[in-house]
Amino acid sequence: EPRVVIIGAGIVGCAVADELTARGRTRITVLDQGPLFETGGSTSHAPGLVFQTNPNKAMAEFASYTVEKYSALGAFDLVGGLELAAAPDRLAELHRRQGWATSWGIEARVLDPAECARLHPLVDADRVLGGLHVPSDGIARALDAAAAQAAAARERGAVFHGGREVLDIAQQGGRVTGVVTSDGQIPADIVLCCAGIWGPKIARMAGMALPLTPLAHQLAWTNPIPALAGAATEAAHPILRHQGADLYFRERFDRLGIGNYGHEPLPVRPEDLGENAISAFTEEDFAEAWHETRWLFPAVKDAKVEEGINGLFSFTPDGLPLMGPSRELEGFWVAEAVWITHSAGVARAMAEWMTGEEPVTQARECDVRRFEEHQRGPAYVRARDCQNYVEVYDVLHPLQPMEDPRPLRTSPFYPREQALGGVFLEAMGWERPQWYASNAPLLQGREIHEPGEWAARYWSPIAGAEAQVTRERVALYDMTSLKRIEVSGRGARDFLASMTTARLERGPGSVTYCMMLDEHGRVLSDITVARLGEEEFQVGANNVLDADHLARHAPETVVVRDITAGTCCIGVWGPRARELVQPLTEDDFSGEAFRYFRCRRAVVGMVPVTALRVSYVGELGWELSTTADMGLKLWDTLWEAGQEHGIIAGGRAAFNSLRLEKGYRLFGTDMTSEHDPVEAGLAKGPAGGPAPARRLTCLTLDEVVMGKEPVYAGGDPVGYVTSAAWGHTIGKGIAYAWLPSPLTAPGTTVQIGYFDRRIPAVVTEEPLFDPGMERLRG
Ligand code: FAD
């Protein structure tokens, strides 16, 4: 059994110790520089509000487990949560949040003002338009929860030391061997960093840059408020949020606690941190919050702020925690940037991960190795972390790109895309055209379906025209941001076969779609493997984690290189794609010589390319990739020759619509590691095997939804939407949704919860477009 040292006895360190010992691990030492368990870390200062609702499914599940566990430990006040709206856009947002909660299995209801006022003595029905009530939200008594989990861990053999500072991480040959403390060295096979805001300092000892920034956040308490007088318990009423003013509230007997995110971000450099996660209350930053509080709650008008702190906790570039093993030092793990709200759920996932069990929740999105190189630089991290502090309660559209730093990563085609009036959104730092303004004339004579106001943001009818023209003529799609990984060298084939569901028996020139698996045979990602030579492959993957996974497991003779940034890729798709490309090359691109799901090296014009005959949009054509230096030449060559074929450039909005018409799944969105390929509709189950309990199902409807909406049948929530778009060829709205198998028969009617409405949707046979694959195989 490996010896584990956990650094930090805040709520996260204690929770992981508990979950690990519950799984039979006993050789665990937990160290904290402060006294146990009021260590001075963030946990010591948090008011412990737990609002479970989150757009992210894994986060909501982490939170739900926290409620369940801390309730069982007697460290949770189940008072409910009430999020208040004082403006129409905020009321609409509460309906959207109600949808997320429902999608992830959390009971939630939007209440009218009178119902809100009945739930809480401070709420004034004249000030609010409504509220989102989640009965299972409440207050975690964080120090009690930490102590209770530590006690359970101790009982099973874990050892806790307070007043013991970790000064260094001992290592040998790229492996952790222990920690150096203020009281001598402790040997360890695994070191888990749960040091909260001090995490980056510890991580640096392990040679790792942890993308996290400690930010000061204000928490103040009033004097006694008559409307709360006579409270028999510390907290009797729901915890409150007023996101429109960046505020949250809880009571402590007859006093009101006010949390404020409304001030300018106040980052603290890790080297400036003391031993306490607190700094002096900056009154001037609280003025607006106090004004808003007294407006919202007239009963608080005459109260005073009695005490306040600027407490420190962690923010990350994408708002998610940092979990898992480090890339830099074997045996060094982190569980960082975790709220009280998610602490038990994160700890359970960590323990499962560290002991190699089946994870109950989907922790991959929180994997600390998910960031690209540029996302780990200090300037980027600080800018994004501060922005996430500002946006913590904002209404964020699912397509809303980061505003700054932009542009950051651009493909070689960027100048041409700009010249065509590209309207850019952003993904992993890449500028990506959503549609092109110069395509506006395509609208002439076309009727493009107009979505509702919310779905029409970051959208233009031009995207619909681009989608239609792709099916009529030929279009260029910039696919540069998609992960391309080169895998080559002696044993490359056997290596890839061992990492995926593919057998790779087909020789050079083949393309195989398959699943990448982890050590336990669970699906990590879906990939396409193009075999360019005997031992030479180009892998199309989803993210940096995929590249990392391959690199980590490659035998010595196999080279794995993430070539995404050094190369570029164009999708040339549409019925005229062959007429366009063939005259540009001496290689044979005919239907007989270059069949569907084949690949080869070729020269197009003067540009050496790797050509894959695949298409995410379901049309004839190729993905052509080349080195970045030749990118412009490739674009110009295709563009010029394409003029006589009516070529256009198409954006991501058109792309997404086309891919859903063809039923192509997006890993991470439509399915994740918690799903298997059979239920996701990517593989056939064994003949006579059990039918899956749920299925990713194609729905059609008369409107456009966005994804993550709940699906109801007979009034009850039964599943949730993953991806959605308008199908501009089929003339219908499309939504893919996870549904229980009995509801997946074509013709079944369900309802999609969209803001405050229920939209009827019908289960439909898929794919919706070209089921005979005539277009692709043409
Ligand atoms: P910590 O509790 O900070 O624990 C880290 C531990 O590591 C510390 O005890 C520290 O002493 C120890 N340590 C650091 N360096 C070393 C070293 N070199 N050697 C040994 N030990 C070391 N979250 C919510 O969910 N709901 C809320 O309502 C909420 N409100 C908040 C309000 C405020 C004012 C603050 C400050 C935070 C709030 N949070 C809230 C966030 C929450 O408190 C934190 O996210 C959470 O407590 C982090 O827990 P942790 O165990 O990771 O960190």
Long-range pairs, 507-513, Cβ under 8 A, ≥24: 507/531, 507/534, 508/532, 508/533, 508/534, 508/536, 509/598, 509/599, 509/600, 510/597, 510/598, 510/599, 511/597, 511/598, 511/599, 511/612, 511/613, 511/614, 512/597, 513/597
Residue 98, domain CATH: 3.30.9.10
Q: What value does the mean pLDDT take over residues 308-331?
A: 97
Q: In the beta sheet, which residues pair with residue 133?
A: 82, 109
User: How confident is residue 608, by pLDDT bands cut at 50, 70 and 90?
Assistant: very high
* Residue 360's pLDDT band (cuts 50, 70, 90): low
Q: Phi/psi of residue 488, each to 5°?
A: -150, 170
User: Does any domain span residue 487?
Assistant: yes
For tokens 């980056």, name the residue. Answer: 200
One of 18, 77, 137, 526 is an active-site residue; which one?
526
Residue 19 shares a structural domain with residue 168: yes
Burial, 118: exposed, middle or buried (Cβ in 10 Å; 0-12, 13-18, 19+)? exposed
- 756 and 742 belong to one structural domain: yes
Report yes or no on 83 lying in a domain: yes
Q: Are residues 219 and 85 in the same domain?
A: yes
Between 461-472 and 652-661, two packed helices, what is the crossing angle to 10 degrees? 60
Q: Name the band, by pLDDT with cuts 50, 70 and 90, for residue 356.
A: confident
Q: Is residue 653 a part of any domain in this protein?
A: yes
Q: Which two tokens stand for residue 212?
A: 């996290």
Please state the ipTM of this predicted complex. Answer: 1.00
Residues 459 and 519 in one domain: no
Q: Is the pLDDT of residue 359 over 80?
A: no
Cα distance between residue 411 and residue 632, in whole Å: 9
**383 part of a folded domain:** no
pLDDT in tens, 468-522: 999 999 999 999 999 999 999 999 999 999 999 988 999 999 999 999 988 877 8
Q: Are residues 637 and 714 in the same domain?
A: no
Report whether pLDDT(361) > 80. no
Count of CB atoms within 10 A of residue 89's CB?
9
What per-residue confidence (pLDDT) applies to 96? 98
pLDDT score of 108 more than 70: yes
Annotation marks residue 526 as catalytic? yes
Rounded to the nearest 5°, which phi and psi values hold at 554?
A: -70, 135
Q: Which atom of ligand 1 lies at the shortest distance from residue 202's CA?
A: 18
Q: Is the pLDDT of residue 761 over 90?
A: yes
- For residue 141, which of 232, 214, 67, 215 has the smallest C-alpha distance? 67
Q: Which amino acid residue places its CA nearest to atom 5 of ligand 1?
A: 195
- Indicate whether 461 pLDDT > 90: yes
| Conformation bin of residue 385: beta by default, left when phi > 0, alpha when psi is -120 to 50 | alpha
Per annotation, catalytic residue among 137, 237, 246, 248 = 248
Mutate to test the pocket of ligand 1, among 340, 346, 388 (most ligand atoms within 8 A of CB): 340
Residue 361 forms part of a structural domain: no
Query: Please, are residues 726 and 704 in contact by the beta-carbon 8 Å criterion?
Result: yes
DSSP H or E segment with residue 713: strand 710-713
Q: What is the pLDDT of residue 271?
A: 82
Give the separation between CA 597 and CA 594, rounded to whole angstroms: 9
Separation of CA 34 and ligand 1 centre (Å):
12
- Domain match, 81 and 201 both: yes
The answer on 599 and 462 residing in a single domain is yes
Q: How far is CA 423 from CA 414, 456, 510, 565, 749, in A?
A: 11, 14, 36, 21, 37
Helix axis angle for 57-72 and 88-103, nearest 10°, is 70
Domain final position from 502, 532, 563: 563
Distance, C-alpha 125 to centroid of its chain = 36
Report pLDDT digits (tens) over 366-384: 999 999 999 999 999 999 9
Contacts of 327 (CB under 8 A, 6+ apart): 208, 369, 548
Largest CA distance in the chain: 88
For residues 418 and 424, give the distance between their C-alpha atoms in angstroms, rounded to a whole number. 9
CA distances from 130 to 108, 119, 563, 758 (A): 13, 12, 51, 19
Alpha carbons 656 and 362: distance in angstroms, whole number? 24
The tokens for 582 are 């063939």
Q: Is the CB of residue 439 below 6 angstroms from any atom belonging to ligand 1?
A: no
Please tell me whether residues 551 and 570 are part of one structural domain.
no
Distance CA 533, CA 411 (A): 27
- Could you tell me if 623 and 752 lie in one domain? no
Averaged pLDDT score across all residues of the chain: 96
Quick check: CB of 385 below 6 Å from ligand 1? no
Length of the chain, please?
778
SS (HEC) of 169-228: EEEECCEEEEEEEECEEEECCEEEECCHHHHHHHHHHCCCCCCCEEEEEEEEEECCCHHH
Residue in the block written with tokens 């799901």: 597
**Ligand 1 lined by 138 (C-beta under 6 Å):** no
Q: Could you list the residue range(s) of the whole structural domain that residue 726 is in?
A: 665-675+691-775
Domain boundary among 563, 585, 606: 563
The string of DSSP codes covering 743-771 is: G-STT-EEEEEETTEEEEEEE--S-SS-T
Are residues 524 and 609 located together in one domain of the fold?
no
Alpha carbon separation from 658 to 94, 526, 602, 716 (Å, rounded)? 31, 19, 27, 31
For residue 443, what is the domain's CATH number? 3.30.1360.120
* Cα of 341 from ligand 1 centre, angstroms: 12
Q: Is 248 a catalytic residue?
A: yes
Confidence of residue 270 (pLDDT cuts 50, 70, 90): confident
Of 128, 701, 762, 96, the residue nearest 454 (C-alpha): 96
Q: Tell me which of 45, 217, 237, 263 is the catalytic residue.
A: 217
Nearest-atom number in ligand 1 for the CA of 13 is: 51
Contact 186, 165 (CB under 8 A): no
CB 249 within 8 A of CB 137: no
Where are the strands (E) in 437-554, listed by range?
475-478, 483-488, 511-517, 523-533, 536-541
- The answer to whether 255 touches 402, Cβ cutoff 8 Å, is no
Residues 6 or more apart whose CB falls under 8 angstroms from that of 480 comprise 411, 412, 413, 430, 564, 567, 568, 569, 631
Which residue is closest in CA terms to ligand 1's atom 21?
Answer: 32
261 and 186 together in one domain? yes
Q: Is the model's pLDDT at 685 over the cut of 90?
A: no
> Would you list the DSSP string of 637-688?
HHHHHHGGGT-EEE-HHHHHHHHHHTT---BTTTB-TTS-TTTTTSSPPPTT
Nearest to 740 by CA among 778, 696, 704, 684: 696
Evaluate whether residue 178 is within a structural domain.
yes
Encoded amino acid at 762, one letter: V
CB-CB contact of 567 with 627 (8 Å): yes
Among residues of the chain, what percentage have pLDDT more than 70? 100
**Residue 582 pLDDT exceeds 80:** yes
Separation of CA 339 and ligand 1 centre (Å): 8
Q: How far is the CA of 10 from the centre of ligand 1 (A)?
A: 6
> Is position 488 within any domain?
yes
Same domain, 634 and 671: no
Our count of domains for the chain comes to: 4
Token digits of residue 606 = 């003067």
Domain end residue (candidates: 265, 285, 315): 315
CATH code of the domain covering residue 521 = 3.30.70.1400
CATH of the domain at 719: 2.40.30.110
